[in-house]
């Protein structure tokens, strides 16, 4: 029996718990006949574990190394924690595996205290991964990317769980990333197909 990869297991859970068919208004202002709420999966106990390891698998496949992972609150929050925790688990299992610390980017600077926009790891010159749950227009991904660069960090890659394959999403992120690869775990088409397969299997 072949053991499924973390990504394959995640796709199965994501398609079951986060994908819905219907009529929905998107944050971009457009409408869609489906909606993907990744947070129901990334905040799920098993879903969170799979998310962290699946993203680490993806980074390893592409030979990308970094010191930290971060993104715009709040879609990126559980992803960041899950990846950081998974990296610590791997370092215990495989001594020498890199640790990825976490940081979160506020939508605006705090008006009190230190006034920081980035919470957590923030070290000038460090290589970091920017993560997001669903990429539609790429606006939240780009906001986090720009904040990290303004803080002096080097963006090694951009990763999203699901790319909706909108006409302007990937080109916008690619343009802002300026050479840093934009990777995805799944396309919306893949999630939709798995969701429908599960429905048909349940009816069979």
Average pLDDT rounded to a whole number, residues 9-33: 91
Lowest mean pLDDT across 2-11, 34-43, 126-135, 137-146: 2-11
Average pLDDT rounded to a whole number, residues 176-189: 94
- Tell me the CA distances in angstroms from 146 to 18, 44, 45, 158, 180, one per residue in order: 28, 29, 31, 12, 13
Residue with tokens 């006949």: 33
Average pLDDT rounded to a whole number, residues 96-103: 95
Collapsed DSSP state (helix, strand, coil) of residue 63? coil
Mean pLDDT rounded to a whole number for the chain: 93
Rg (CA), the chain: 17
- Tell me the CA distances in angstroms from 186 to 23, 82, 85, 93, 132, one per residue in order: 22, 18, 22, 27, 12
Domain extents for the chain? Answer: 6-203
25: pLDDT strictly greater than 80: yes
What pLDDT digit, counting tens, does each position of 126-152 carry? 999 999 999 999 999 999 999 999 999
CATH topology for 6-203?
Rossmann fold (3.40.50)
In the chain, the percentage of residues whose pLDDT exceeds 70 is: 95
DSSP class of residue 135 equals: E
Closest CA to 162 of 183, 176, 140: 183
Question: In which band, very low, low, confident or very high, does the pLDDT at 73 lie, cut at 50, 70 and 90?
Answer: very high
């Amino acid at each position: 029996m072949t053991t499924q990869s973390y990504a394959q297991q995640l796709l199965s859970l994501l398609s079951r718990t986060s994908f819905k068919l219907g009529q929905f208004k998107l944050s971009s202002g457009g409408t869609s006949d489906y909606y993907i709420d990744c947070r129901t999966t990334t905040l799920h106990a098993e879903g969170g574990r799979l998310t962290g390891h699946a993203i680490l698998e993806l980074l390893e496949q592409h030979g990308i190394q970094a010191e930290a992972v971060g993104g715009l609150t709040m879609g990126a929050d559980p992803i960041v924690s899950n990846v950081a925790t998974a990296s610590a688990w791997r370092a215990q299992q495989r001594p020498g595996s890199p640790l990825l610390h976490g940081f979160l980017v506020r939508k605006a600077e705090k008006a009190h205290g230190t006034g920081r926009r980035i919470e957590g790891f923030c070290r000038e010159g460090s290589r970091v991964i920017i993560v997001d749950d669903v990429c539609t227009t790429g606006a939240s991904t780009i906001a986090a990317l720009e904040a990290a660069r303004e803080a002096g960090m080097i963006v090694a890659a951009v990763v999203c769980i699901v790319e909706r394959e909108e006409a302007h999403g990937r080109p916008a992120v690619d343009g802002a990333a300026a050479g840093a690869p934009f990777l995805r775990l799944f396309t919306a088409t893949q999630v939709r197909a798995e969701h429908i397969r599960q429905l048909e299997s349940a009816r069979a």
